Chain A
């Protein structure tokens, strides 16, 4: 069953159809939330909240990209959480084990393959990327996460953020400029990663 048919069934009250859509987008939603909030537990809560909001608001879906519509729920829930969190301490994105030692290769990372050195370097790079994303303003961070980290299309992001396409283009460029300056150190610190990425260049 394609996405449009699933959405139609869900709007008619078919919970299974809605849950199939949830399964299709939950990784993307959780990734965006985790990157936005730099907090795994909060990201879990926010993702659940976003899907509940989506289910409750199915009647207001007016067609178009369901992915963008769901991501709007996610980003709105993230913005709400960021405002609430200003008064609360946060849990770092890097998970720790029972002895409060950082886990170098967390089980929730999608890519666990590679040698110990590669895993270490990847973990270092991950920390640097998350630190640099966290240094951006919310609007720039959301755009950078969706376009650069998650590889979403400009139009999808514009629909998700309810912003004009030109605004998204401008924010992508400005976010990349800031991230370039912030990430310059990681290239010098971990040149092997940079070389690997160069080799992967399409």
Chain B
């Protein structure tokens, strides 16, 4: 290739040789050819190549490839095997639509049910620690303590400063740490009283070192008079962002420092995983998982349909039907 010629130029030359250019393009190209001897030479070489290929010997078919009546009869039934094959041609589209429906159901359809499930899980989660507490023996591994609260009118400047969470304490064995995690139930419930002011439904997050879990299990709740007393200022109810249960379920908490999620001095690297092996959570999921919601069932059915349709598309594509 000449240094100043690109593949695009050779595409023009090719189209020129095959008569595929418009009159305007031919005029422009011929002007450039007259101005550039190198272009003319390159075109000439390409033309010689084309001519040589055109002169290549042609073969005669070594025999006739006509189809006998017997062969034709044997072929006809094969065509009947897939009488509805135009339908199968839509397999790939069907697969794509099914997958799309699964995704849409996941994003839109399950958002509300998922929140409802959390509410439904609460009683199960409350019951679970009871059993665990009964099995608990002194001197065993430190407990992992959950505090389940409901909206109770924290904050709001009513001056009472004291409130008790309606939810029960949830305790369970946790193998690695005695950290405390509090679930703030954000679901508005009819029974929730005293909501107001600053919307202070915030979770109480207590430092594990400051509050022994045994005490928590006995139901002695810390006073909420002045939220800064039990938690850092950032967790003051009116100011703190409403923590969601989902967030706590999925957050890996590092360390047991006074600020949840931040390691206390000397505890860097100590990881408390609140999402992986929590007994209450697993127990709750196990109970709700026994009966799949209709939306989930539809998702599974659509997923299976997508896989089958995709397999059909690949099959018929391979057979070039």
Q: Is B64 an interface residue (CB 8 A)?
A: yes
For residue A187, CB closer than 8 A to chain B, the reply is yes
A173 lies within 8 A of B14 (CB): yes
The 8 A CB mask of A97-121 against B (1 = contact, 0 = none) is: 0000000000011110000000000
Residues on the B chain within 8 Å of A82, using CB = none
A147–B18 CB distance below 8 A: yes
- By the criterion CB–CB under 8 Å, are B64 and A122 in contact? no
Interface residues on B, range: 35 or more
B50: A residues at CB distance < 8 A: 148, 176
Alpha-carbon gap, A109 to B56, bound state (A): 10
CA distance A51 to B75 in the complex (A): 12
| A18, A27, A148, A154 — most chain B CB neighbours (10 Å) | A148
Is B61's CB under 8 angstroms from A27's CB? yes
Please state if B63 and A187 are interface contacts (CB–CB under 8 Å).
Answer: no
Closest approach, in angstroms, between the C-beta of B202 and any C-beta of chain A? 62
One of B49, B55, B59 near A27 (C-beta < 8 A): B59
A140-156 interface bits toward B, Cβ cutoff 8 Å, 1 = contact, 0 = none: 00001001110100100
**Given contacts A31-B59, A59-B79, is CB(A180)–CB(B45) below 8 Å?**
yes
Contact: B75 with A108, CB < 8 Å?
no
Q: State the Cβ distance, B12 to closest chain A Cβ, in Å.
A: 8
| Of the residues B20, B60, B71, contact of A110 by C-beta under 8 Å | B60
Whole-angstrom distance between the alpha carbons of A22 and B173 in the complex?
A: 81
Asked whether A201 is an interface residue with its Cβ less than 8 Å from the other chain, the reply is: yes
Contacting pair B58 A27 (CB below 8 A): yes
A26, A40, A55, A194: the one contacting B75 at CB < 8 Å is: A55
A91 interface residue, CB < 8 Å from B?
A: no
Contact of A52 among B18, B20, B53, B75 (CB under 8 A): B75
What residues of A have a CB within 8 angstroms of the CB of B64 in the complex? 22-23, 26
Residues in A lying within 8 Å of B, measured CB to CB: 15, 18-19, 22-23, 26-27, 29-31, 34, 40, 44, 47-48, 51-53, 55-56, 59, 76, 108-111, 122, 125-126, 129, 144, 147-149, 151, 154, 169-170, 172-174, 176-177, 179-180, 183, 186-187, 193-194, 197-198, 200-201
3 closest cross-chain pairs (CB), A and B: A148-B53, A173-B14, A19-B66
